[in-house]
Structure 1
Amino acid sequence: MTVATKTTRLLAAALAACTLLGGAASAQEITLKLGHLANEQNIWHKASVKFGEELSALTDGRIKVEVYPNETLGKEVDLINGMQLGTADMTITGESLQNWAPMAALLALPYAYTSLEQMDEVASGEIGKEIEAQIIDKAGVRPIAYFARGPRELTSNRPITKPEDLNGLKMRVPNVPLFLNVWQALGAQPTPMAFSEVFTSLQNGTIEAQENPLALIQSANFNEVQKNINMTDHVRSWIYLTISELTWEKLSEDDQKAVMEAAKRAQEYERGLFADNETAIRKDLEAKGVTFTEVDQAAFAAKAKDAVLSGVSEEIRPTVEKIFAMQK
């Protein structure tokens, strides 16, 4: 037997052994549960379903993703807690992660990102990688993709055009310390509240206003209880598709690669829907009787800037200043 033949047979045997080992490892069927707060019409939900379809295709149906919209698997913070304990697999989350990882506050800095392009530059660049690393380390969840969000707008019972109009306004904010601080500095009376409680609270007058991107304003039917959308554009931001680090560590290297590839495809899919979706949502809300009010954004931004800088931790303040300096 020649050396070449011997070598060929040894390589073939090694490859066969690897295939058997890999086959045994990859034979495991996995179901990932992905819960989020949006409804079935929201593009985050559509992107989540797309992620599941792509991951199933990449693993020949071996890894399945069950998507639970409308907080049916739990509220955002509850899901994050579950992911840290290993009782939940995936969710869509963003600045709420700053309760564990201070740099997550950078996802949604009031009046920091003036365009989608500037936001992308931060999210996909060096700063974005630093944010993701800290979230993995401090929060125990792993960002695997990010979705763009339309600017957050303020809905209210009356038109708001300048900061002074906010004085005494009772409004809901998510459980994000920076949001609370900034709206207080602008003169409002913000209170943290779970998203699922907002509609009823607006309906019964417990609060007079709330702020969210148009997509969530539409999907939550807030137009039924408020007819003013004030175009504050106060937060341009992104949000992460995340997986529990405990779940991630149980996956084989090949499965981790499949998850990341499916997430990449879901991110591209979501971005493709994004711009057209924002235009369609506004038309739909206008048809339902909502009035869109233009506001003095420069006045809001000027008053908010000091509150943002004083409201963030010393740890991230230099990065915040760098982001403000990137504005075009």
Structure 2
Amino acid sequence: MRTSFMKVLVLCLTITLLVPAMSFAKAEYTLKFGHLANEENVWHKAAVKFAELVAEKSDGRIEVKVYPNEQLGKEMELIDGIRMGTVDMTITGESMQNWAPKAGLMGAPYAIRNADHLAKIAGGEIGKEIEEEIIEKIGLRPVGWFGRGPRNLTSNREIKHPDDLKGMILRVPNVPLFVAVWEALGAKPTPMAFSEVFTSLQQGTIEGQENPYALIKSAGFYEVQKYCNLTEHVISWIYVVLGEKKFQSMPEDLQQVILEAGQEMQEYEHQLFQEAEKNLAKELQDLGMTFVEVDKAAFQKKAEAAVLDALTPEQKDLYMRIQEVK
């Protein structure tokens, strides 16, 4: 009896010692995932979800460490870091056109009509074509895509038609295509650092700006702009990417884990994003902004020539193919 008791005791102690060791065994792969969003952003929440999914599906063989708030560097620095092997993952979009020209269409004005059109492009054959070029020319593998909030024009007078823009001094990012498009629409675009926009609006140096709801709210533009004109002139998407060398260094079963977790992360983000956009619209209206419906067809028609002029022949062909998708 005593011998049996001792055997059971030894067995229990052995299991007790082994389980923590197994639970905290070092992962075979550790992925450093850096991005620019803060902890409240849906991108970060989706990145954390991805880390959880990967750990679960790989039984701890892969660990994903997420670093928000540009902790590992800005977007272009992270892309360079992945290519050099110092970082493994990030979230990026049309900035990749420096290497993969087709990626430039991800942020082109009036390329995408609405959320349904976006899903057909990013989730369809054209999206796959862009992804393949990103893998081939940059060495980054997209594992999921996120929607981005449409860019809308804010102002202190209603803008329903391009004719209403005449002479309006409008802040735009320092992107030549944006400057060309807003000039074609009749405004006076003024490139300016984002950090200077609130004060310039407050002082009347500029009369309007354009950004997604999230930035309109977080920057407090509702305090100095009365109208949010629903131009939705840029509806775009962005990729979560993993270094292709790192991906190919993994056995096939772990590659499948990454791809499956990427798709689940994508679906999770899409749900969060749609809810966040609805909430932001209501919050901005509650804060005093008046939402204005605009003649989108008139805006697109007037902007199209400027967009096409700015594109390479290859990009122009892709732009027209995007337009043809119904």
Shift of 1:317: 1.6
Amino acid at match of 1:131: I
Q: Secondary structure at the residue paired with 1:299?
A: helix
Q: Is the 8 A contact 2:126 2:322 kept in 1?
A: no
Q: Deviations 1:15-40 (Å, cap 9, x if unpaired)?
A: xxxxxxxxxxx964433222223332
Seen in structure 2, the aligned counterparts of structure 1 residues 251 and 27 have a Cα distance that, compared at 3 Å, is: farther
Q: Is the 8 A contact 2:170 2:190 kept in 1?
A: yes
d(CA) in 2 for partners of 1:111, 1:279: 22
d(CA) in 2 for partners of 1:140, 1:169: 42
Shift of 1:231: 0.7
Alignment partner, residue 83 of structure 1: 82
**Which range is displaced more, 274-283 or 198-207?**
198-207
Alignment partner, residue 69 of structure 1: 68
2:154 pairs with 1:155: yes
Q: Is the 8 A contact 1:96 1:175 kept in 2?
A: no
Alignment partner, residue 231 of structure 1: 230
2:260 pairs with 1:261: yes
**Which range is displaced more, 262-271 or 40-49?**
40-49
Where structure 2 has 5 or more consecutive residues not aligned to the other structure, the ranges are: 1-24
Q: Deviations 1:26-66 (Å, cap 9, x if unpaired)?
A: 96443322222333222222111111111111122342323
Seen in structure 2, the aligned counterparts of structure 1 residues 196 and 98 have a Cα distance that, compared at 3 Å, is: farther
1:176-187 to 2 correspondences below 5 Å: 176-187=175-186
1:210-225 to 2 correspondences below 5 Å: 210-224=209-223
Identity of aligned residues (%): 57
Q: How many aligned residue pairs are there? A: 302
Alignment partner, residue 278 of structure 1: 277
Shift of 1:177: 4.5
d(CA) in 2 for partners of 1:67, 1:194: 28
Which has more radius of gyration? 2
2:114 pairs with 1:115: yes
Shift of 1:161: 2.9
Amino acid at match of 2:311: V
d(CA) in 2 for partners of 1:282, 1:148: 16
Seen in structure 2, the aligned counterparts of structure 1 residues 148 and 201 have a Cα distance that, compared at 3 Å, is: same
d(CA) in 2 for partners of 1:144, 1:311: 29
Q: Is the 8 A contact 1:35 1:91 kept in 2?
A: yes
d(CA) in 1 for partners of 2:238, 2:231: 19
Shift of 1:319: 2.2
Aligned-residue CA RMSD in angstroms? 2.9
d(CA) in 1 for partners of 2:58, 2:173: 37
Alignment partner, residue 310 of structure 1: 309
d(CA) in 1 for partners of 2:218, 2:27: 37
Alignment partner, residue 32 of structure 2: 33
Q: Deviations 1:102-146 (Å, cap 9, x if unpaired)?
A: 101222332232232222112122211110111122233221101
Alignment partner, residue 142 of structure 1: 141
Q: Is the 8 A contact 1:96 1:176 kept in 2?
A: no
Seen in structure 2, the aligned counterparts of structure 1 residues 140 and 179 have a Cα distance that, compared at 3 Å, is: farther
Q: Is the 8 A contact 1:101 1:135 kept in 2?
A: yes
d(CA) in 1 for partners of 2:66, 2:166: 41
Q: Secondary structure at the residue paired with 1:230?
A: strand
Q: Deviations 1:184-224 (Å, cap 9, x if unpaired)?
A: 33244546667677667766777654433223433454435
Q: Secondary structure at the residue paired with 1:315?
A: helix
Q: Secondary structure at the residue paired with 2:313?
A: coil
Amino acid at match of 1:228: Y
Shift of 1:155: 2.8
d(CA) in 1 for partners of 2:196, 2:305: 31
Alignment partner, residue 123 of structure 2: 124
d(CA) in 1 for partners of 2:246, 2:308: 36
**Which range is displaced more, 194-203 or 42-51?**
194-203
d(CA) in 1 for partners of 2:195, 2:77: 13
Amino acid at match of 2:151: R
Q: Is the 8 A contact 1:182 1:311 kept in 2?
A: no
d(CA) in 2 for partners of 1:175, 1:31: 36
Seen in structure 2, the aligned counterparts of structure 1 residues 170 and 72 have a Cα distance that, compared at 3 Å, is: farther
d(CA) in 1 for partners of 2:303, 2:164: 14
